[in-house]
Amino acid sequence: MISGWILSLLLLTGQVQQPASDIARLRELLADKKQPQLQAQAAYLILQQQTPLATETVKQYLRDPRNVEVFTAFAGAIKLRRDGRFSEELIDALSIDIPAVRQSAAEALGASVDGKGAFKLKQIAENTSLAESTRQQAMIALGKTGKKSAAETLLKLFTDPKESVRLGSRQALADLIGEDLGRDSVTWQLWFDERKNLSSDAWLEERLAQRNAKLTRLEGELDSSRNRNRTLYQQLYSRLGPTEKIPFFQGLLDHEDSAVRLLIAGWLAEALSEESYRKPAGEMLLSFSRDPVDEVRRQAVLGLGRWNDKACLDRLLLIIQSDQIVVRAAAARSLAMQAKGNDGAARMILVLPALQNALSDPALEVVVEAAEDLGSLGVPAAVPLLAGLLKHKAAAVRKTAAQALERIADISVLEELLVGLEDPDIGVRLGILGAVSRAVNQAKFIKEDDKLRLQSRMEIILLKDPDAGVRARSATLLGDFGNVIHLATLWKAAVTEGDPRIQEKSWQAFLEVLSKSKDLKLINEWNSIVRKEAPLRRVNFLVELLGKMQPATMNSKIELAPVRELLVQCGIENQKWLPAWSALRELPQALEPEEIEKRLSLLFQIAEIALKEQAAPDVLQMVDFARPLFVGRKKLQADFEELYRKANFIINSKT
């Protein structure tokens, strides 16, 4: 046998059905005047049974209204269930000389009375021999029925000689139709005449439409009022001193407006950053984590991630198994935050299994959040878990897993990554390419077979993937770990008309592979190809190639002079004096006479081009650069001095 208090709790929460023998227990709850909520619940449960014993029990209480609390509890339950079995007892209660009883009986009748009961109410309202208070309650009940017949009765009473009756009928009519048309009975009669031929269904449809319009208006007004209320709270909070905040929070923990509680939960999360507020704010957030509104609970759970407390961690581990999806997702994020805080290594032992379990959650939101959190933790143990999610049926989960792997992937999941590159979702493929890049760059050693497979796959993607973004990213990866055999593919992708992203990334990858080759013969070969197939790009080709071949990015012993010489010659051919001049200055000092002659000849050509473009100051620098080499070269010296004179003339003419 279940103990009394446990049974009562189960009955009130609806977890068991009440046998007839439990009526006595519910009657005991009805007798507890100190707990009106329990009285109301007990009355509802008795009314719900609809057994002969339960029905007779209800009637007994309604016939003896001396216990006002119990009577109003049953009247409220009848109103809520719209139960028409007790109209006779409620009508009798209209004449009881207890205002609370009469009022609750009238409201219950208005919600539950049938046609026969409505006729009795009409008789009471029209009976001049009855007490005025009884007639008034009958009119109130008629006004709450919403019936057309009730409107006819109330219109008759609108012309009653007694002012109190006229006033009562007007109030009841206003309640029935949803608006007050004033004192003039003619106005009311005209309103009714327009509707007297409506069917019962049409009448009720009009009443429902009017009530819905009124409800919409009231809801709008209520929302405006709540918005103003929240604004006032925000203004008040901004003016609070440090010692006033915690009492302010405590006073609003049970606020009826969930939006205000949501504000408080956000402020409490911010307060956790202050040492003096941390404990009380954390405890209040724990309280909000049990709030009946999901959004408030979610906000509180997100805030708990900032509080490194054992009670908080225990609560989050429990919440991540709750019924509400948004709350479970928030708990996953907060658990990840807990694992990043102080003592994170110790907490990781508890957090990691919880997040791992969340990966199999039936709700996609939770799986996505858990996958993202595992990626943010950077834990190697999470790598195979996330790689397994690349086979998930939901694209959102696969995409999140791929993005998380971009931060923590290693070479151990290369096979899963290669399989994932066949995914139909563009975002997933992009994320996996990022994960491949990380895995390769972080690996200390890669098998030659794996490297060849990777290179082959990147080349295929560059050539055939339907998405330009994916192809562009594969080109970058091919530049990272490709070799000279891929130069032709990259060159073709760079110069073929198409998406600019593919062209640019392929061009950069092409330069990257060529610069890493450190093969000057190969560079010369490609210089010839560029000269022939894309002459306008030749200067940029040499400039960018030199930039990638600087000693900071390659072996400093590699001689770059031949490449610079190519750039000097190319700049002159293409009338691009600036890159040619920059490259010439970087050439090693010429020692042989023939080499000096050649160097001066090239410099003179560069200076002539610069002078044509009015770059006079640069021409002066070039001449100064050449002067130490003029010894024994009077013809060249005279030519340079003439350039110097012309440059000075240009400068002086501008001033």
Q: Go through the domains of the chain in sequence order and give each one's CATH number.
A: 4-217 (1.25.10.10)
The rounded distance, in Å, linking the Cα atoms of 395 and 239 is 47
Q: How far, in Å, CA of 44 to CA of 81, rounded? A: 9
Tokens of 406: 């971009």
* pTM greater than the 0.95 cutoff: no
Cβ neighbors of 200 (< 8 A, separation 6 or more) are 147, 148
How far apart CA 262 and CA 273 sit, in angstroms, is: 18
- Supply 59's token pair: 């009637």
Structure tokens given for 542: 């040499």
Q: Is 1 helix (H, G, I), strand (E, B) or coil?
A: coil
Spatial distance between the Cα atoms of 108 and 86, rounded to a whole number of angstroms: 9
Q: How far is CA 521 from CA 23, 510, 524, in A?
A: 101, 16, 5
- The answer to whether 79 and 112 are in contact (CB under 8 A) is yes
What tokens does 549 get? 């071949």
| CA–CA dist 362, 360 (Å, integer) | 6
Q: What's the half-sphere exposure (Cβ side, CA atoms, 13 Å) at 487?
A: 18
CA distances from 390 to 416, 458, 576 (A): 8, 19, 51
How much is the pLDDT for 557? 40
Q: Which two tokens stand for residue 535?
A: 């002459």
Distance CA 16, CA 331 (A): 32
Q: Are 327 and 363 in contact (CB under 8 A)?
A: no
Instruction: Report the alpha-carbon distance of residue 61 to residue 86 in Å, rounded.
Output: 11
- Of the candidates 593, 592, 645, the one whose C-alpha atom is nearest the C-alpha of residue 623 is 645
| Cα angle: 525, vertex 528, 534; to 5 degrees | 130
- Say if CB 317 and CB 350 are below 8 A apart: yes
Look at residue 342 in the predicted model and tell me its pLDDT: 67
pLDDT value at residue 174: 83
Helices (H) and strands (E) counted in the chain, each on its own, are 36, 0
For 530, the 3-state DSSP assignment is helix
Tokens 């009526």 sit at which residue? 23
Whole-number Å distance between alpha carbons of 329 and 324: 9
Work out the angle between the directed axes of helices 148-157 and 132-145 (0-180°, nearest 10): 150
Q: How far is CA 558 from the centre of its chain?
A: 53
Q: How many CB atoms lie within 10 A of CB 598?
A: 13
Mean pLDDT by 10 residues, the chain (655 residues): 37 45 79 83 86 86 84 86 84 83 83 80 82 84 82 81 83 82 84 82 81 83 87 90 90 89 93 90 92 93 90 92 91 91 78 91 92 90 92 94 93 93 95 94 88 93 94 94 93 92 95 90 93 92 88 53 90 93 87 87 93 92 89 85 91 81
